[in-house]
Amino acid sequence: MQIDGKNKKIKISLSYVILIVLLAASVLVSLLFGAESLSLREILAKDGNRFSKIIFMQIRLPRTILALLTGALLAGSGTVFQMYFRNPLAEPGIMGISSGATLGAVIVSTLFMGTVLSNDITNAVNTTVRSAFMGTVSPVNIGAFLGALAAGLLVTVISNKKTGASATVALLLCGTALGTFYSSLTSILLTAKSESLHTMYMWMLGSFSGRGWDEFILILVPSVISIILMFVSCRKLDLLSGGEMTALSLGVEVGRLRMLVIIAGSLATSAAVCAGGTIGFVGLIAPHVVRRIFGAKGKTLLPVSMVCGSVLLLFADTVSRVVVRPAEIPVGTITALLGAPFFIMLIFSKRGLKNG
């Protein structure tokens, strides 16, 4: 038994090392490869190519940071949703929360700004009055958060009408139906703005094209707040794993925890939507991979899932830039190609459902 315990510790330690190496590699690959390949030596050299340095500082670096942060936010929200609902298939996209955030952002930008989000979201943001929080929260961000929050509350209320095993099915079906409904409303609004339809179509599929430092500043505060809230809820979510009655007996206020999880997950999802559009399945894949290797304890599951989500989205974004370069395909299509078969596998995997 001691030997097995040592082997398990070695395996976990090795997995940490591999994950760190993958993170470093994904960041490096994201920085150097794209429509125009860059040389690290040239970038670091004092007398290096000035054009390459401009591309690196103004395009590649902010885009890499955004993809890293967005992957962490999506994976973190997927983790807390799965832990709270005790449902291995809970994820912002599947629950319709990502579509709700998109709808909220489009409604606000259409009604209050006279234009939908463009390839350069800064042009729209600069025409509005920034709110508090160091001037980094725009009406678009607020609209995305309110849309995500409303979508999260609605799917929770509807799915709670069912109990037991049927609650899982209800959550998935309601989330899928509501997500389709939100997407339909978004399409109607975008049709009225046909001049921006192509750009928004790419954004709805998930894309970091044209994103830069302004978008990073835009989502920084809500991202930090959402991450803090997710970590605050983490310990209580571990207590909830034994059931609501057990959690109540241990002093957990389940009602408050529900609101904390929905707010944290919705805020993280809205920030991710503002950064890169609607990107699905990252919040589904990352927690499952981490749970299989590192276990289901929240103090490990949440941070490691966030790192795993960053790695996944960084690699997906790099692939989206190089596979048909100099053109670019939406990163959301890459994550969908990975996530769809993964989702089907989980449905038919008893072990996967049990571990959720």
130: pLDDT strictly greater than 50: no
Among 255, 123, 116, 266, which Cα is nearest to 197's? 116
Tell me the mean pLDDT in the region 74-100: 88
% of the chain exceeding 70 in pLDDT:
83
For residue range 90-129, list pLDDT tens digits in order: 888 888 888 998 888 888 877 765 544 444 443 444 344 3
Span 169-184, mean pLDDT?
85
Residue (of 95, 97, 90, 86) closest to 165 by Cα position: 86
Q: Which residue has the higher pLDDT, 89 or 263?
A: 263
Tokens representing 318 are: 């790099």
131 backbone dihedrals φ, ψ, rounded to 5°: -85, -160
% the chain with pLDDT above 90: 28
Work out the mean pLDDT of the chain and round it to a whole number: 81
User: For 2-355, which CATH class?
Assistant: mainly alpha
What value, to the nearest 5°, has the Cα angle with vertex 115 and ends 109 and 117?
65
Q: What is the pTM of this model?
A: 0.84
Question: What is the per-residue pLDDT for 23?
Answer: 96
Q: Which of the four pLDDT bands, split at 50, 70 and 90, describes residue 27?
A: very high
Q: How confident is the model at residue 320 (pLDDT cuts 50, 70, 90)?
A: very high
Residue scoring higher pLDDT (98 or 86): 98
Q: What integer is the mean pLDDT of 79-91? A: 86
- H helical segments located in the chain: 2-32, 40-44, 50-55, 61-85, 97-113, 121-125, 139-159, 165-191, 197-205, 213-240, 244-249, 254-276, 282-294, 298-322, 331-347, 350-355
Mean pLDDT of 191-220: 76
Predicted confidence at residue 69, as pLDDT, reads: 97
Is the separation of the CB atoms in 313 and 275 below 8 Å? no
Which amino acid belongs to residue 191?
T
Domain boundaries, the chain: 2-355
pLDDT of residue 321: 92
* Contact in structure between 145 and 101 (CB atoms under 8 Å): yes
